[in-house]
Structure 1
């Protein structure tokens, strides 16, 4: 960090330009990840509204998880932009990105939620190769592809920012 003197004799610590740019990239990626999850057509806010309108019990945990985690991302990004301590927010953001990525692969590898009461019956587990390359997964689902790429990129940018933070 660079220290400069202000007109009244106090010193101000300025972020290096590259760190500030990374922070903006992180904020953009964070908002993208939040928007993808918040407005996911079958698992985000629309799903919660559909459950509420139908008056049915919420069987699938993903809509609640998608909406709450999206709100957490938006709050975290805004806290950083408002000057809150960054290192703990970066760490929580990295953990959440790992949960998103691991959750996606775990959901598909462990039978599309067959282990979660009330969902699909039977075993539909997929290998990692099938999840990445098979139809109806990352290869053919553009929302999933965008989401996983943005989450991975955000994890990497947050890790860089975490290392740069004192």
Structure 2
């Protein structure tokens, strides 16, 4: 019985040793890894259609300006403007954009072009001293509808 247990243990040991050797025997250090080509994702020149559910937006991002239009869910135009934004590139297709509209509304967007998502924070100015400040956070799905640096169109 002891001999049988010893043979089983030896067989298991040889099996495990063979598996470890076959995996560790691969010499990956001598095989150079193929260089990973990083694709640079640009925001400038893109026009995004953003569906926030309760609101739709079309935004064209230029290096020195930003053009926007907002719509109801039924695509009825509710506003448009041209703004001077502040851009921050976060890397890996992600951007932070902020601007203030003529009426004082402050907008901040976190844009992820790899995931096609936009997270926006909208802070409207108080209309009266009794008004309560209520920032609005919207999460939306984004689709690139134009990828060309079009000449500015002033709304």
TM bucket (normalised to shorter chain) is under 0.3
Whichever structure has more strand as a proportion of its residues is 2
**Greater relative contact order structure (CA < 8 Å, 6+ sep):** 1
* TM superposition score normalised by structure 2: 0.27
Bigger helix share:
1
Larger radius of gyration: 2
TM-score in terms of structure 1 length: 0.26
